[in-house]
Structure 1
Amino acid sequence: MFPFDAIPRVITHDAFTELEKGLIQRVDALNLFLNDIYGEKQIIRDGVVPEEFVFLSSGYLPQCEGITPPKGIYSHISGIDLVLGKDKEWYILEDNLRIPSGASYPMIAREICRRVSPETFRNHPVVDNRNYAKMLRETMDWVNTGGIPVIMTPGRYNAAYFEHSYLAERTGSERATCTDLSVENNYLYYRDRKQKVGVIYRRISDEYLDPMTFLPESLIGIPNLMDVYRSGNVAVVNAPGNGVADDKGIYYFVPKMIRYYLDQEPILKNAPTYLPFYQEDRNYVLEHLKDLVVKDVAEAGGYGVIFGNKLSAEELADLKTVIEKEPRRFIAQEVIDFQDMEIMDGDEKVLRKADLRAFVLSGEKTRVWASGLTRFSRNADSFVVNSSQGGGFKDTWVLSR
């Protein structure tokens, strides 16, 4: 269940224009970082990012070393999670560069609302969000190595299977599972080798993608897919190995990446973040633990997030011990007092915390979808908005003027 609330988030034209610039800047820097990390590693040599944060990241895949993806793009579809602080500033909470999901929800919500109340959209200058499928297909076409487009799903029992099917239909791509795909003579084929695949938008995790390269027990991957990819005969969207760039520890360094690769100041801010890996930061974290949010860098989906003010004295002491023992495992952040949004709770309007997942597509150029997935917390005292933690969602309206 992912409850829908009909009151939309509204972003003005001017606010979105500024947000768009910052998101494009950030994703461009992250793509340059991935090219560098799996290539020359100059950012490590220059001391901007410590090698420990790259090579000890669970998202770093040595099997991807030296592979240049088609057109040099690693993160074709980036889901950037932000919150709007009560100071009216946007703060980036997380970069999702592996298989960010959720774009279909605001599309479907808008479709339903347009049918129920068409006059609302005639009377308000809301940017039409139905162009996401077109943007996605153009992104896939840009890196296509010559063949049909495929959206690969683990199958009907996956929680996001509906989205996989919906996007396949809307983009004119074949929806496929591993049983529909096979490798022969270093090319990927769809169904009995009748059609060559030029681009595969895979919706399965890296470790299950190819049992010959990653987890041998994977039953949902394609044997020898990585050989085809390494040869440049298929584009994989998003590229394997992207997890090193959306590691919560690497997040701390993204503003430095922007300065390093683009020679620009970051337009969008990170949440104030501390790395216990550094002694000075560790001292601060241990001293102010009750006022901070601690995140386990290996966790996702709202798991591994610990609010210091929710812990007992004994639990705080235990957490301090773990941080001192495994400082690379955690980051700590100031609690951002981000905006409440109205939702309907039965017949009553109530306030809940809400974030925004913005979708950035990188093809011939980097573009931001003028919509997004607004997620809200289930309970009044909760800051966690993930669907896996009981959160709901809203449509996001971007005004055209």
Structure 2
Amino acid sequence: MKPMFDEMHAGPAAVRDHYRSYAEWLAQQPQEVMRDRREEAEMIFRRVGITFAVYGDKDSGEGTERLIPFDLIPRVIPAHEWREMEKGLSQRVTALNRFIHDVYHGQEIIKAGVVPAEQILNNAQFRPEMVGVDVPGGVYSHISGIDIVRAANADGSGSYYVLEDNLRVPSGVSYMLENRKMMMRLFPDLFAENRIAPVAHYPDLLLETLRSVAPGGVNEPTVVVLTPGMYNSAYFEHAFLAQQMGIELVEGQDLFVKDDFVFMRTTQGPKRVDVIYRRLDDDFLDPDVFRKGSTLGCPGLLSVVRKGNVTLSNAIGTGVADDKSIYAYVPKMVEFYLGEKPILNNVPTYLCREKDDFKYVLDHLPELVVKEVHGAGGYGMLVGPAASKQEIADFRMHLLANPSNYIAQPTLSLSTCPTFVDQGIAPRHIDLRPFVLSGKDVQMVPGGLTRVALKEGSLVVNSSQGGGTKDTWVLED
């Protein structure tokens, strides 16, 4: 059996230093008080409307709107670990932005033989329409959500790995902010006793980042959040962030193009828009160019981008770098563009499009996690050790039909964190999604969104698959 890394406990009776103060407090809390607090949190989240839409879920009894379960026990990260992770995240996102710029300009990384041409040019997320188009500061992914996991080493220590890069429209930051607000409301004494780095300034940093990438010559840029509408799974977050930044939340029908600029309709008449924080996929942005008949975007938008008169965050075509088959090359990108060794390591990855890798994957399916290269939300994947023989046999047929659509990774023993479940306090597997902002500078708030697999033994933390979230504490020195 693989060793487990427990975030709080170094052994049966040993608590890690950075958890000591919290563990002492937790030991004094009666179970019924914790249960009451959990019910209070659920009631408040329901009242505020913090829900997540689950598509195709007809049996939950709640229609398609669900609360994301919130766990009362925080994940705690010591200052020195966060400093190292922050450096690694900044390095990685900088290299990824350099890669995307290169893909749409000189393609030096292809010429150097580091990434095969077909991996990029045949990628469904590669947008030929963006070739040669310059974006402000050469930044394509202004908001990146990088998924981090920790796995146990043979000596009992734990190492952080990047599981995947989300560079198109990463979501979840509103839950990070609301979780912190909830913890401060339920347990104010904990924040008086512990030096916990703040996260509430994220909307200010986000707005600062968006303004910093406005087209040249615009001093007081107008920034908007573009949402597909209230039926989108993350609509709560779109509305929340617009409100927190004090900017307009718009839908495609609120925008129009005239004289090579984008305008929004207002009660006072048309107003020019300079930066669009878009929360919909490339396909729906401009029906003149991408998906014909889409009513979610704005006709003519790409032509304004090409002329440099509006900035899209994130840029069109950014998805070419968050494809799971491109992920395998990110460590090489760090060395190629920055001349540095990667601070954060990848999880070892097998590309099913490669003959030897594919043979290995087929021979070891019961041991591996296999994912679609464009998959998201925990859908379209196989967790070998948890799958039945029939599920493995069925998945093998999908693999044989389209090998290049899949990657595989060893089943990591994700670290566990004590979690308050119906039976009491028990370990559950977790990951972490820090949010990295890239504009004139690369910035992030300490921590991120900790997601937790609430089913015992499960490694799938996605909210769409029954996962929950926790507050993430980065302790200050």
TM-score, scaled to structure 1:
0.96
Moved more, 69-78 or 106-115: 106-115
The alpha carbon displacement at 1:77 in A equals 0.4
SS in 2 for 1:249: coil
The alpha carbon displacement at 1:378 in A equals 2.7
Q: Which amino acid aligns with 2:341?
A: E
- How far, CA to CA, are the matches of 2:78 and 2:369 in structure 1? 30
The alpha carbon displacement at 1:92 in A equals 0.8
Look up the match of 1:369: 445
Moved more, 43-52 or 116-125: 116-125
Look up the match of 1:211: 287
- How far, CA to CA, are the matches of 1:302 and 1:60 in structure 2? 23
Contact in 1 for aligned 2:382/2:392 (Cα 8 Å): no
Aligned with residue 46 of structure 1, among 112, 127, 138: 112
The alpha carbon displacement at 1:90 in A equals 0.5
Over alpha carbons, which structure has the higher Rg?
2
The alpha carbon displacement at 1:317 in A equals 4.8
Matched-pair identity in %: 45
The alpha carbon displacement at 1:98 in A equals 0.3
Q: Which amino acid aligns with 1:220?
A: L
Q: Do structure 1's residue 94 and structure 2's residue 164 form an aligned pair? A: yes
- How far, CA to CA, are the matches of 1:201 and 1:102 in structure 2? 15
SS in 1 for 2:420: strand
Aligned with residue 343 of structure 2, among 244, 267, 286: 267
- How far, CA to CA, are the matches of 1:338 and 1:316 in structure 2? 22
Contact in 1 for aligned 2:183/2:471 (Cα 8 Å): no
Q: Do structure 1's residue 201 and structure 2's residue 271 form an aligned pair? A: no
**Aligned 1:104-123 pairs, distance under 5 A:** 104-123=174-193
Look up the match of 1:31: 97
- How far, CA to CA, are the matches of 1:315 and 1:102 in structure 2? 30
Q: Which runs of 5+ in 1 are unaligned?
A: none
Moved more, 240-249 or 167-176: 167-176
SS in 2 for 1:85: strand
Q: Do structure 1's residue 15 and structure 2's residue 15 form an aligned pair? A: no
Q: Do structure 1's residue 170 and structure 2's residue 244 form an aligned pair? A: yes
The alpha carbon displacement at 1:120 in A equals 1.7
Contact in 2 for aligned 1:23/1:368 (Cα 8 Å): no
Look up the match of 2:143: 77
Residue by residue over 1:46-101, the C-alpha shift from the partner in whole angstroms, topping out at 9 and shown as x without a partner, is 11001121122221111222211122110000000011112310011110000001
Residue by residue over 1:359-390, the C-alpha shift from the partner in whole angstroms, topping out at 9 and shown as x without a partner, is 00001111222121111113112111111111
RMSD of aligned C-alpha atoms? 1.5
SS in 1 for 2:165: strand
- How far, CA to CA, are the matches of 1:317 and 1:343 in structure 2? 34
The alpha carbon displacement at 1:158 in A equals 1.9
SS in 2 for 1:14: helix
Look up the match of 1:183: 257
**Aligned 1:206-285 pairs, distance under 5 A:** 206-285=282-361
Size of the aligned set, in residue pairs, is: 401
Aligned with residue 463 of structure 2, among 387, 391, 394: 387
Q: Which amino acid aligns with 1:197?
A: V
The alpha carbon displacement at 1:153 in A equals 1.1
Q: Which amino acid aligns with 2:116?
A: P
TM-score, scaled to structure 2:
0.81
Q: Which runs of 5+ in 2 are unaligned?
A: 1-66
The alpha carbon displacement at 1:238 in A equals 0.5
Contact in 2 for aligned 1:361/1:369 (Cα 8 Å): no
Contact in 2 for aligned 1:292/1:334 (Cα 8 Å): yes
Aligned with residue 287 of structure 1, among 347, 363, 388: 363
Look up the match of 1:151: 225
Contact in 1 for aligned 2:148/2:164 (Cα 8 Å): yes
Moved more, 61-70 or 23-32: 61-70
Aligned with residue 235 of structure 2, among 161, 167, 171: 161
**Aligned 1:263-342 pairs, distance under 5 A:** 263-313=339-389, 315-317=391-393, 319-320=395-396, 322-342=398-418
Q: Which amino acid aligns with 1:64?
A: M
Higher relative contact order (CA 8 A, sep 6+): 1
Q: Which amino acid aligns with 1:5?
A: D
